[in-house]
């Protein structure tokens, strides 16, 4: 059973990276595939921050971060971002494959990448991604629009979210004369594929603060108690929710 995984989806500038601002700078590992400085004042204070320039290196860094015997140095792994990873992956696949093999390799590698992350049993993994808007025709003939995690190709369309425990979509509330309020949507309201246990947050909108989200999830799943028992019995840490 995997430790809880968190996906943050939203357009550029909607608060995805900003939501990382309150994470413990000593106990968080940032795998920065975007290779951009994070958009808040203490961005350079993260002790474990690695810039990655290729999809192959990103996959290896993620795998090593999860499996390494030294990973007790951090409690949270952030992958910034899934969108950049799949862009690099598709470009690489086009260089080494032709025809149908381009997307066969691409789709299989995404699957392996997500399975590696799901193999993590003692850390929170947070992944950021760009979303896309898609149209659906209802039985009545009405056309509705919904947001989902963007990914090239058909095989993974609309399926990325199912791999995660919690999926949060960004929302920006703008009122005249006030600064914008950056929020997360916690559950599907018909316009997106957000999801979380209904009683985890208790409301549809929350502040875009991943540190707060992780604290809530630790309390909800009693992960600190499970970790204590696991340490004493020398058993792997298990989550209580799939």
pLDDT per position as a tens digit, 34-76 = 999 999 999 999 999 999 999 999 999 999 988 876 667 899 9
The answer to whether residue 240 scores a pLDDT higher than 50 is: no
The CA distance from 128 to 117, in Å, is 14
- Inter-residue contact 185 to 229 (CB < 8 Å): no
* Residue closest to 26 by CA, chosen among 79, 66, 73: 73
* CATH number 3.10.620 is the correct assignment for the domain at 5-233: no
Confidence of residue 145 (pLDDT cuts 50, 70, 90): confident
Q: Which H/E stretch holds residue 231?
A: helix 223-233
**What percent of the chain has pLDDT above 70?**
90
Taking alpha carbons only, the member of 150, 110, 116 closest to residue 130 is 150
Contact 40, 18 (CB under 8 A): yes
**Residue 95 to residues 18, 106, 122, 153, Cα–Cα distance (Å):** 34, 12, 36, 17
Domain boundaries, the chain: 5-233
* Dist CA 144 CA 195 (whole Å): 19
């Amino acid at each position: 059973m995997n430790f809880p995984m968190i996906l943050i989806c939203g357009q550029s500038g909607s608060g995805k990276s900003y939501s990382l601002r309150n994470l413990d700078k000593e106990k968080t590992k940032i795998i920065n595939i975007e290779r951009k400085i994070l958009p808040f004042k203490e961005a350079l204070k993260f002790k474990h921050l690695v810039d990655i320039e290729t999809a192959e290196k990103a996959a290896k860094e993620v795998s090593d971060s999860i499996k390494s015997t030294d990973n007790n140095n951090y409690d949270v792994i952030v992958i910034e971002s899934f969108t950049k990873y799949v862009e690099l992956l598709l470009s690489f696949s086009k260089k080494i494959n032709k025809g149908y093999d381009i997307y066969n390799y691409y789709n299989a590698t995404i699957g392996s990448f997500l399975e590696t992350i799901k193999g993590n049993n003692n850390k929170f993994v947070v992944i950021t991604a760009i979303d896309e808007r898609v149209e659906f025709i209802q039985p009545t003939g009405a056309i509705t629009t919904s947001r989902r995690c963007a990914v090239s190709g058909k095989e993974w369309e609309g399926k990325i979210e199912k791999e995660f425990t919690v999926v949060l979509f960004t929302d920006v509330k703008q009122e005249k004369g006030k600064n914008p309020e950056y929020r997360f949507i916690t559950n599907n309201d018909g316009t997106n594929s957000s999801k979380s246990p209904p009683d985890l947050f208790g409301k549809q909108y929350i502040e875009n603060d991943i540190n707060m989200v992780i604290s809530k999830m630790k309390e909800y799943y009693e992960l600190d108690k499970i970790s204590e028992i696991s340490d004493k019995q020398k058993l792997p840490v298990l989550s209580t929710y799939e």
